[in-house]
Amino acid sequence: MSAPTTQPHLDLKTPPPLPDGGLRVMALGGLGEIGRNMAVLEFEGRLLVIDCGVLFPEAEQPGVDLILPDLGVIEHRLDDIDAVVLTHGHEDHIGALPYLLRLRGDIPLVGSRFTLALVRAKLREHRIDPVLVEVAGGDDHLAGPFHCEFINVNHSIPDALAVAVHTPAGLLVHTGDFKMDQLPLDGVLTDLGAFARLGIEGIDLLLADSTNAEIPGFVTSERAIGPVLEDVFRRATQRLIVSSFASHVHRIQQVLDAAEKHGRKVAFVGRSMVRNMGVARDLGLLRMAPGLMVSLDEATKMPGEQVVLVSTGSQGEPLSALGRMARGEHHQVTIEAGDTIVLASSLVPGNETAVYKVINGLARLGATVIHKETAMVHVSGHAPAGELRTLLNVAKPRYLMPVHGEWRHLRAHAALAEQTGMATDRIILAEDGVVVDLVDGKASIVGSVPIGNVYVDGLNVGDVGEESLQERRILGDEGFVALTVVVEPSTRTIVRPVHLSTRGFSQNPAAFDEALRLVEENLKRTLEDGEVDAHRLSQVIRRTVGKWVSDTYRRRPMIIPTVLEV
């Protein structure tokens, strides 16, 4: 589906066949990056997939909407997949499901009630009717030879689960995303007792969330945000807009509670916010007082001091509701001086510039912007170092494979494991495409498979590659020069003046006069020498303009020469 990318594990070859009785683990995403989480387990010729998420593009990937796991590695084995186990409903864990199910639509999706409700709503938009298997913490599910046991974990979305996969090859435990909030709003704690029990049974390989491995200590409880929001509501004299992840039910519950206490009506803004909060309400996960909610149309007609808008766009997404508000382009909400905007979320790595652009846009319009660097309006959903050590000491895995993190997070997690006394050779640092086998109780890297980035660009999936992105970067950074020349091969003459158009250079129409003169001189000389091949003449134009632009502007634009023969 895509071209292979360079792997730091340069010495790794294609993995050998899986030994009889062995369990194979292959990550197609989530290692060396925040997002695109997907692990494929193999045992006795059957496959179990854990999560199937997307990665959001960075600035150097212009025009890309999403980045998918490279399914080409398993495309020829779709019939071997017994199930996809979903740890929770965040996009970086479920966002790529429509693209997998387009290849085989009847793969069972196993997950918690809220996770499956979000999946159902997402797949409905893609006109896919999935096979759903609902489970809860403490449940068991058999998928082919994989005996899956589910464990409650606390995260920034309800109904998050870890999964223990029992096979004759050994016990693998995948934590999913988790933290250890001791006072969770929904009362669901990370089930350390279950991890301890599995540890006594013997966890052969632990795949554990590494996102906050660099951050010391223990997580602040979600409840601590309530008083901060209370203070924001108390001080706000005009309209309030709170931006959050569209899946953070607990955060939005606290906003609703504060709004009710301070006599404000609430309207949801943004398609995903409206959809997800509707799902949460229907499942009883979000409590809304009678009369609290109004439509956006109603909210825009009410006095600002009586309204709070709950919006998408906390990551600076340009097409999100808050992003359009910051640019003055939202067709219903216009930011006014005195409005208070709260960004109640973290900064996902890579999104910092976009978020600060939104903050500055809102501030320019006169709004007061409150974010995690100015007030405690966000706590992370991921376990910091103290909690990761706790899990390692409770679970006592024989082998650890840090997952869900950039390289700095994976290495920090490895260092924590060493601090707890785990031997270095029992810590497996891998990246996307690296293959790990668990055989006779021993886990080791046995090879790698070539995988790449699969880009979603509008309706196109996999059609845009690195070469196309490089061309887009050149166009964006350096501009382009297009030249058209008409020659008559029989007389070896230029029959019309060279036509030039540029983008990204001086607006002075005479700026390229010298380049045009050089092009005509070199073309005439080449034609007089008997060369009339259009490709050769194009090369002359490209070399001439390229050298002139480099010498004059110190730039390397895309040069598009066209030679027409008459």
Given phi > 0 = left and psi -120 to 50 = alpha, else beta, which region is 489?
A: alpha
* 411, containing H or E segment: helix 407-419
Residues 279 and 320 in one domain: yes
What is the β-pairing status of strands 434-439 and 399-403? unpaired
Residue with tokens 């009586």: 306
* 233, containing H or E segment: helix 225-235
Distance between CA atoms of residues 528 and 525, nearest Å: 5
Q: Name the nearest CA neighbour of 390 among 129, 200, 190.
A: 190
Residues 120 and 148 in one domain: yes
Residue 359 lies in a domain: yes
Residues 325 and 430 in one domain: no
Distance between CA atoms of residues 160 and 179, nearest Å: 10
Distance between CA atoms of residues 481 and 105, nearest Å: 47
In the chain, the amino acid numbered 95 is G
What residue spans of 262-301 are helical by DSSP H? 271-282, 296-300
- Please work out, in degrees rounded to the nearest 5, the angle formed at the alpha carbon of residue 197 by the alpha carbons of 195 and 203: 65
Structure tokens at 355: 């978020």
Residues 298 and 203 in one domain: no
Q: Which residues pair with 310 in a beta bridge?
A: 242, 268
Residue 195 lies in a domain: yes
Residues 320 and 395 in one domain: no
Structure tokens at 328: 């003055």
The pTM assigned to this predicted structure is 0.82
Residue environment code for 81-117, b if the CB has 16+ CB neighbours within 10 A, otherwise e = bbbbbbbbbbbbbbbbbbbbbeeeeebebbbbbbbbb
Residue 343 backbone dihedrals phi, psi, to 5 degrees: -95, 95
Residue 519 lies in a domain: yes
The Cα-based distances of 440 to 20, 134, 225, 337, 403 in angstroms read 10, 33, 48, 67, 23
Residues 531 and 443 in one domain: no
Structure tokens at 335: 């930011």
Burial of 22 from C-beta contacts in 10 A (0-12 / 13-18 / 19+): buried
Residues 442 and 528 in one domain: no
Per-residue pLDDT of the chain (566 residues; tens, 9 = 90+): 443 333 456 678 899 999 999 999 999 999 999 889 999 999 999 999 999 999 876 556 545 567 889 999 999 999 999 999 999 999 999 999 999 999 999 999 999 999 999 999 999 988 999 999 999 999 999 999 999 999 999 999 999 999 999 999 999 999 999 999 999 999 999 999 999 999 999 999 999 999 999 999 999 999 999 999 999 999 999 999 999 888 899 999 999 999 999 999 999 998 889 999 999 999 999 999 999 999 999 999 999 999 999 998 767 666 678 888 988 888 899 999 999 999 988 766 666 777 888 889 999 999 999 988 888 888 999 999 999 999 999 999 999 999 999 999 999 999 999 999 999 999 999 999 999 999 988 999 999 998 887 776 655 554 555 555 555 555 556 677 788 888 888 788 887 778 877 776 666 667 778 888 888 888 888 887 877 788 888 888 888 888 888 888 777 777 888 888 87
Q: For the chain, how far is it from start to end, CA to CA, in angstroms?
A: 42
Distance between CA atoms of residues 104 and 99, nearest Å: 9
Residue 12 lies in a domain: no
Distance between CA atoms of residues 402 and 206, nearest Å: 8
In the chain, the amino acid numbered 488 is E
Among residues 423, 449, 475, the one where a domain terminates is 449
Residue 60's pLDDT is 60
Distance between CA atoms of residues 342 and 208, nearest Å: 31
Residues 186 and 331 in one domain: no
* 455, containing H or E segment: strand 454-457
Residue 421 backbone dihedrals phi, psi, to 5 degrees: 100, 5
The sign one gets for the Cα dihedral 254, 255, 260, 266 is negative
Residue 457 lies in a domain: no
Residues 205 and 229 in one domain: no
Residue 16 lies in a domain: no
The sign one gets for the Cα dihedral 59, 63, 68, 74 is negative
CATH number of domain containing 136: 3.60.15.10
Q: Name the nearest CA neighbour of 86 among 42, 24, 21, 143.
A: 143
Distance between CA atoms of residues 259 and 375, nearest Å: 19
Residue 131 near residue 106 (C-beta atoms within 8 A): yes
Residue 274 lies in a domain: yes
Residue 552 near residue 516 (C-beta atoms within 8 A): no
Residues 199 and 51 in one domain: yes
Q: Say how many domains are in the chain.
A: 3
Among residues 314, 342, 370, the one where a domain terminates is 370
CATH number of domain containing 262: 3.40.50.10710
Q: What domain range includes position 93?
A: 23-217+380-449
Q: Name the nearest CA neighbour of 561 among 509, 526, 528.
A: 526
Burial of 426 from C-beta contacts in 10 A (0-12 / 13-18 / 19+): middle
Residues 70 and 206 in one domain: yes
| Strand order from edge to edge, sheet including 23-29 | 131-134, 108-111, 81-85, 46-50, 38-43, 23-29, 434-439, 442-448
- Please work out, in degrees rounded to the nearest 5, the angle formed at the alpha carbon of residue 283 by the alpha carbons of 117 and 149: 60
Residue 10 lies in a domain: no
Q: Name the nearest CA neighbour of 133 among 122, 148, 145.
A: 148
* 501, containing H or E segment: strand 499-503
Residues 108 and 200 in one domain: yes
Distance between CA atoms of residues 560 and 564, nearest Å: 13
The Cα-based distances of 56 to 63, 289, 325, 349, 511 in angstroms read 11, 35, 21, 10, 40
Distance between CA atoms of residues 246 and 276, nearest Å: 6
Rounded to whole angstroms, the maximal C-alpha distance in the chain is 90
Among residues 342, 370, 398, the one where a domain terminates is 370
Residue 446's pLDDT is 95
